[in-house]
């Protein structure tokens, strides 16, 4: 059962994850580290989240990662992530990675996949001009349709039109929905794959994963004993804890950082 977390009440699960031998803190970005905003490229992590992430990343045996559906190039921009960052990135729902000291891991894309993606973009761009407020996003392995600025009825009509095109031209691509977002990708990886990859890569004995949307449930469902899942906001979830906002994510990370630092003194 999911329970609501507040900083005022000590929680045994939070204490346990803070004390694990090797900790990985993995965060979705939009709606988790950053509030949701109408223009996706204007999203930025709350300063309090950024400060907590930096504090955790300095601790021994502690890794921090952003795990996002964003293409890696866009994730690096909105996360204000430079080449010296200690933060791991998993973009495109786990199809792309950036590791400290190494840089981007080559995810690869076939010429056929690239040609189809560009052709789909060329077809969808004029189509979506008929739907005010709906925006088309070019993604590394597919396309995204953003409906947040649009009237909900216009958004629904646009998504239906895009579904028709994709069913006709790219029926095997993976379809995902989120908070007023529709995405299609030639890659099948999800955030569950990202969690498995990052667990193997970091040797984590415990993972805290926090997310706010449907695609984050893929990651939450593959957490193991000794891990901790956190859902931001309402909605059905596999998470152990629920918080109300990115502001509370910052509070939670501060509690974990303080507990972890104290336990290692």
Tell me the pLDDT tens digit for each residue of 68-91: 999 999 999 999 999 999 999 999
- Alpha helices (runs of H) in 203-239, residue ranges in sequence order: 216-221
Residue owning tokens 């790219």: 170
What is the value of pTM for the model shown? 0.85
**pLDDT 10s digits, 152-176:** 999 999 999 999 999 999 999 999 9
- Terminal Cα-to-Cα distance of the chain (whole angstroms): 34
Residue owning tokens 């994963």: 209
Question: Residues 8, 96: one domain?
Answer: yes
Count structural domains, the chain.
Answer: 2
The closest alpha carbon to 207, from 216, 220, 218, belongs to 220
Question: Residues 118, 59: one domain?
Answer: no
Strand 206-211 versus strand 241-243 pairing type:
unpaired
Domain of residue 176, residue span: 111-185
pLDDT band at 105, cuts 50/70/90? Answer: confident
Question: Residues 81, 12: one domain?
Answer: yes
Question: Residues 7, 100: one domain?
Answer: yes
Residue 76 has, within 13 A of its CA and on its CB side, a CA count of 15
59: left (phi over 0), alpha (psi -120 to 50) or beta: beta
Mean pLDDT of the chain: 94
215: its two tokens:
């695609």
Question: Residues 198, 95: one domain?
Answer: yes
pLDDT at position 111 is 83
Once rounded to an integer, what is the mean pLDDT over residues 200-211?
98
* DSSP 3-state of 52: helix
Among residues 185, 200, 217, which one ends one of the domains? 185
246: its two tokens:
């990115």
3-state SS of the chain: helix, strand, coil percent to 5?
40, 25, 40
Question: Residues 214, 258: one domain?
Answer: yes
Q: How far apart are alpha carbons 253 and 100 in whole angstroms?
A: 21
- From residue 125, give the alpha-carbon distance in Å to each of 39, 132, 136, 143, 257: 18, 12, 7, 10, 45
Q: How far apart are alpha carbons 52 and 49 in whole angstroms?
A: 5
Question: Residues 101, 211: one domain?
Answer: yes
Please report the sign of the dihedral spanned by the C-alpha atoms of residue 238, residue 243, residue 247, residue 249: negative
pLDDT at position 179 is 83
Do 112 and 138 meet the contact criterion of CB atoms below 8 Å apart? no
Do 71 and 139 meet the contact criterion of CB atoms below 8 Å apart? yes
């Amino acid at each position: 059962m999911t329970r609501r977390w507040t900083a005022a009440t000590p929680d045994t699960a939070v204490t346990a994850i803070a004390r694990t031998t090797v900790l990985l803190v993995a965060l979705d970005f939009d709606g988790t580290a950053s509030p949701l905003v109408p223009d996706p490229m204007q999203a930025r992590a709350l300063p309090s989240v950024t400060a907590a992430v930096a504090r955790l990343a300095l601790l021994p045996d502690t890794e921090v990662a952003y795990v996002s559906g964003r293409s890696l190039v866009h994730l690096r921009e909105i996360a204000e992530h430079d080449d010296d960052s200690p933060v791991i990135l998993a973009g495109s729902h786990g199809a792309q990675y950036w590791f400290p000291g190494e840089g981007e891991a080559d995810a690869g894309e076939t010429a056929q996949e690239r040609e189809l993606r560009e052709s789909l973009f060329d077809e969808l761009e004029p189509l979506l001009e008929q739907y005010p407020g709906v925006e088309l996003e070019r993604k590394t392995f597919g396309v995204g349709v953003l409906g947040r600025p649009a009237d909900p009825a216009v958004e629904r009509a646009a998504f239906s039109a895009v579904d028709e095109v994709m069913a006709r031209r790219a029926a095997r691509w993976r379809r995902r929905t989120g908070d007023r977002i529709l995405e299609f990708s030639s890659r099948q990886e999800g955030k569950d794959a990202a969690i498995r990859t990052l667990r193997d890569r970091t040797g984590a004995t415990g993972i805290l994963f926090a997310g706010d949307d449907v695609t984050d449930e893929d990651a939450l469902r593959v957490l193991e004993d000794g891990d901790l899942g956190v859902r931001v906001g309402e909605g059905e979830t596999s998470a152990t804890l629920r918080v109300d906002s990115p502001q509370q994510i910052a509070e939670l990370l501060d509690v974990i950082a303080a507990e972890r630092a104290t336990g290692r003194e």
